[in-house]
Chain A
Amino acid sequence: MNIPLNISWQQILLHLFNFSILTLGLYILLYNPVKNFMEQRKEYYNKLDKDANDKLNEAKELEITYEKRIADIEKLIEERKASAAQEAKLEAKAILKDAEKKAEKILLDAQQAAQQERAKILEDTQEEITQMAISAVEKLLAQSSSGALNQFLDAVKKE
């Protein structure tokens, strides 16, 4: 059968066979290796990107954790400061009270000691006056012997 335009089934099949070999060969030798290489590179950079993102996220989480910890520590410090101030205030109050008590006691002791001293001084003075009176009398008696003694005794009797 003559086909117009010099179309030949045999040659069409040969062209098909030739083109199939070419496509298969180019796929195996060129297209697939280059595509695989490009995909490997893509995966490599995607992995790098993913690792970097993971590390960034990890760093952000760490930052958040540390910020929280810092905030907690600051809060704790504030609480401890307040507590210490309160304790110091109470302690100061207690010390002051104690000091006041001690001062009162010292004052009381001093007053008691002063009174005892005064009493002792008065007692000593009376005794001294008595001794002085006795010695004065003795002296007078010695100077005026019996006359004087009689006069004195008369005077005492009159009184």
Chain B
Amino acid sequence: MLTNTQAEKHETVKEMMRDAVLHDVNKISLFGFIDVNPGLISAIVITSILLITALIIRIFVIPKFKFIPTSKFQILLEEMVGLFDNFAKQNSPHRNNFLGAYIFGAGMYIFFGTLFELLGLQAITTMGHSITLPAPLSDINGAIALGCLSYSVIVFGGIRANGLKGLVHALKEFSMPLSMSFRLFGAMLSGVLVTELVYYYYRLSFVLPIIVAVLFTLLHATIQTYVLVMLTASTYGSATKPEE
């Protein structure tokens, strides 16, 4: 499950790199309805894992929270929520309840979605090959979805706060969905490509993956989470700022 040497050998490195960018060869059937890119399957798996974990935490951990924390896990959860909540409050002092929840979701999705590729979960393509599931946002459709949704959140936040003026203000940043989507896609893809390349060659798959896969993935997961969250929060803050 963790490694599959057979999966690497059914295509050349050129085909593999091209497929990592375009996802036009290896498709996976989504419950038998349609064939989708592996990134979407990764996104569904990540969503399931995060929601199940959140449900377990909600049922078994949160009710045992104490005002003076005694467990490190409680401190970690509070830090995570507090981090995004403060980020929303600092960047958007006027309207931040929805923004906090949104950037928390987006942050968790990007961070854990990026780390997800470390698991090396395998899936069977429609052609019968086994492939490693990539990070959800290395699929351009996923990156476009997140970029456009973030922009929509900003536009609707602006309209809700300032009406037509807010809309005009948000529309000024018309290039944002494009830049957000492709920046995210490019950053994720670069990580995937380097990792794929390293894993492709047998000799490079000793020791080096520890540095490349773990450190590089951790680093760019953190950076991309920060970049998208920061961009969304600051633009949302300026769009929802009350007009003087």
Q: Which residues of A contact B (CB under 8 A)?
A: 5-8, 10-16, 18-27, 29-35, 37-38, 41, 44-45
Cross-chain contact B104 with A27 (CB below 8 angstroms): yes
Cross-chain contact B24 with A30 (CB below 8 angstroms): no
Known: A29-B58, A30-B77, A34-B62. A6 touches B51 (CB 8 A): no
Cross-chain contact A38 with B82 (CB below 8 angstroms): yes
Q: Which residues of B contact A (CB under 8 A)?
A: 21-24, 30, 34, 36-37, 40, 43-44, 46-47, 50-51, 54-55, 57-58, 62, 65, 67, 77-78, 80-82, 84-85, 100-102, 104-106, 108-109, 136, 139-142, 144-146, 148-149
Cross-chain contact B77 with A11 (CB below 8 angstroms): no
Cross-chain contact B58 with A19 (CB below 8 angstroms): no
State which of B23, B106, B142 has its C-beta within 8 Å of the C-beta of A6: B23
State which of A7, A10, A11, A38 has its C-beta within 8 Å of the C-beta of B81: A38
Pull 19 A–B residue pairs with CB atoms less than 8 Å apart, ordered by A: A11-B36, A12-B148, A13-B145, A15-B40, A15-B142, A15-B145, A18-B40, A19-B47, A19-B106, A23-B104, A26-B104, A31-B84, A31-B105, A33-B62, A34-B62, A35-B81, A35-B85, A38-B78, A38-B81
Cross-chain contact A22 with B145 (CB below 8 angstroms): no
A residues near B23, Cβ cutoff 8 Å: 6
Q: How far is the CB of A39 from chain B (nearest CB, A)?
A: 10
Tell which of B22, B106, B141, B148 has the most Cβ of chain A within 10 Å: B141
Expressed in whole angstroms, the Cα–Cα distance for A109 and B108 within the complex equals 121
Cross-chain contact A23 with B141 (CB below 8 angstroms): no
Cross-chain contact A6 with B140 (CB below 8 angstroms): yes
Nearest-neighbor residue (CB-CB) of A15 within chain B = B145
Cross-chain contact A31 with B81 (CB below 8 angstroms): yes
Q: How far is the CB of A53 from chain B (nearest CB, A)?
A: 19
Nearest-neighbor residue (CB-CB) of B34 within chain A = A10
Cross-chain contact A34 with B50 (CB below 8 angstroms): no
Expressed in whole angstroms, the Cα–Cα distance for A19 and B113 within the complex equals 11
A residues near B109, Cβ cutoff 8 Å: 19, 22-23
B residues near A24, Cβ cutoff 8 Å: 105
Expressed in whole angstroms, the Cα–Cα distance for A19 and B40 within the complex equals 10
